[in-house]
A = this chain, B = another copy of it.
């Protein structure tokens, strides 16, 4: 079900700036067994992204009421939480006063194949190079055409994710995931100051790695560094962790380090019950 501005709905005003300009942000939250995963972090990121774009973010209680309404009795759901700048006059200038539109869209939770966590996935390199925009980097905003184009470069369902470089050739992320490299006891993830989306699962993995005594680094990552890593994985809030088993230039057999960090992240996940 879909809840808009706190009430059941199915449609958005055709003049909404979310549609017109992609003028808004979103986060994807997993509901499993009536538990909202990583809710404090998810809400914090959503609010932070709203602040970065001068959008008003509803308070957590409003979101929780809307989520309850959207999921009904369902125990598991993929929840898309979205905030747009609402309707306005024609033109790019912000409407004054702003009346944001906020949405909860509940979809079936994708069935997660436990083999992927155990055995890893096949990934590829995308041809599209991410553009650099420091004012938007890290934000999970509604301008996602680059991800759309990148994801549609391949059709083979055996290839689960495509990795994206920026225009300087640095590795940034997957089309729908963040990227993690483990080498010895150093967990490295690409910096997201020029492009990319800062996902909550990435943040949780970094915290767990630190908790387990790894050194955590955020910085530039080259293709060579990635291919030389002991372990490589991609993560997001629905898939959790997928270790990478194969890229065209290399295969990996070893995933125990990232799996251990993911296990910690799961154990320490802050879940809240939808009552």
Copies of this chain, whole number: 2
Chain B residues with CB below 8 A from A91, complex form: 151, 176
A153 nearest CB across to chain B (Å): 11
A43 nearest CB across to chain B (Å): 20
CA distance A22 to B16 in the complex (A): 12
Number of contact residues on A: which range applies?
Answer: 35 or more
Chain B residues with CB below 8 A from A80, complex form: 20, 90
Instruction: Report yes or no: A14 in contact with B23, Cβ–Cβ below 8 A.
Output: no
Chain B residues with CB below 8 A from A11, complex form: 11-14
Instruction: Report yes or no: A20 in contact with B142, Cβ–Cβ below 8 A.
Output: yes
Binding site for B on A (CB under 8 A): 2, 4, 9-23, 26, 53-54, 78, 80, 82, 84, 89-94, 103, 105, 107, 110, 128, 131-133, 135-136, 141-152, 167, 175-176
CA distance A89 to B108 in the complex (A): 10
Instruction: Report yes or no: A144 in contact with B15, Cβ–Cβ below 8 A.
Output: no
A136 nearest CB across to chain B (Å): 6
A108 nearest CB across to chain B (Å): 9
Most buried by B among A13, A133, A151, A175: A133
Given the known A-B contacts A13-B10, A14-B10, A15-B2, are A136 and B132 also in contact in the complex, defined by CB atoms under 8 Å? no
Instruction: Report yes or no: A144 in contact with B20, Cβ–Cβ below 8 A.
Output: yes
Given the known A-B contacts A90-B107, A94-B152, A152-B94, are A141 and B135 also in contact in the complex, defined by CB atoms under 8 Å? no
Instruction: Report yes or no: A135 in contact with B128, Cβ–Cβ below 8 A.
Output: yes
Given the known A-B contacts A133-B131, A144-B22, are A4 and B14 also in contact in the complex, defined by CB atoms under 8 Å? yes
Given the known A-B contacts A91-B151, A145-B136, A152-B94, are A105 and B22 also in contact in the complex, defined by CB atoms under 8 Å? no
Identify A142's interface contact among B21, B54, B94, B135, CB under 8 A: B21
Chain B residues with CB below 8 A from A4, complex form: 14
Given the known A-B contacts A151-B93, A152-B94, A175-B92, are A142 and B19 also in contact in the complex, defined by CB atoms under 8 Å? yes
Question: Which of chain B's residues has its CB closest to A127's CB?
Answer: B135
Instruction: Report yes or no: A141 in contact with B145, Cβ–Cβ below 8 A.
Output: yes
Identify A132's interface contact among B2, B21, B22, B167, CB under 8 A: B167
A157 nearest CB across to chain B (Å): 10
